[in-house]
Amino acid sequence: MTDNIHRIEESILRMTAVVRQEQAELTAKSFGEIPDPKLRPRGWWVLACGEPLDEESFDSRETARERLLAATRLAGLVLPENIWVWDEAGMAQLVVSTVPTLERARTLADRLRKKGLVIRIKRETF
C-alpha cells in the first residue's frame, strides 16, 4: 500500500513539473524571449503607492496597508492577492499587475492614475 502511494506521489510530481515547464515557456514567449529553463524573464511591476510608513512600527505598516487597500478598492480594483513591495522610498506599495513590456506598464499606469491612484512602475525583482 505504501509503495502504491509513493508511486502516485511521484507521478503527481512529474505531471506538475511538466505543466509548470509548459507554463514557463508560454510566459517566456509572452515576454518576447526565447525560453531558457535557467532564466525567468523579468517584467514590469505596476505599483499602487500609499503613504510613507515607519518600518519599525507594525501598527504604522498595517495602517498604511489598510489605507492603500481602501484606495485601490475605491478605484475599482480588487486584487486576487496582495503583494507588498518595500524599498528605499519607505512607503506602502502594492503590486497591481506584472506586465511584460514597459509600454504596457505605462498604459496601465496612466489608466490607474486617472482613477486617482498614485502609481509607480518598477522592474520586477526577485
| Residues spanned by the domain of 50 | 44-123
CA distances from residue 75 to 6, 68, 71, 85 in whole angstroms, order as listed: 49, 11, 6, 20
Residue 86 pLDDT class (50, 70, 90 cuts):
confident
| Claim to verify: residue 108 and residue 79 sit in the same structural domain | yes
pLDDT at 115: 95
Query: What confidence score (pLDDT) does residue 15 get?
Result: 67
pTM for the whole structure: 0.66
Q: Please tell me whether residues 32 and 52 are part of one structural domain.
A: no
Rounded Cα–Cα distance for residues 72 and 65 (Å): 11
Residue 19 contacts residue 13 (beta carbons within 8 Å): no
Rounded to the nearest integer, the mean pLDDT of the chain is 81
Q: Total structural domains in the chain?
A: 2
Same domain for 59 and 113?
A: yes
Using one digit for the tens of pLDDT, what is the confidence trace for 3-52?
777 677 777 766 665 565 665 566 555 555 555 556 566 789 999 999 88
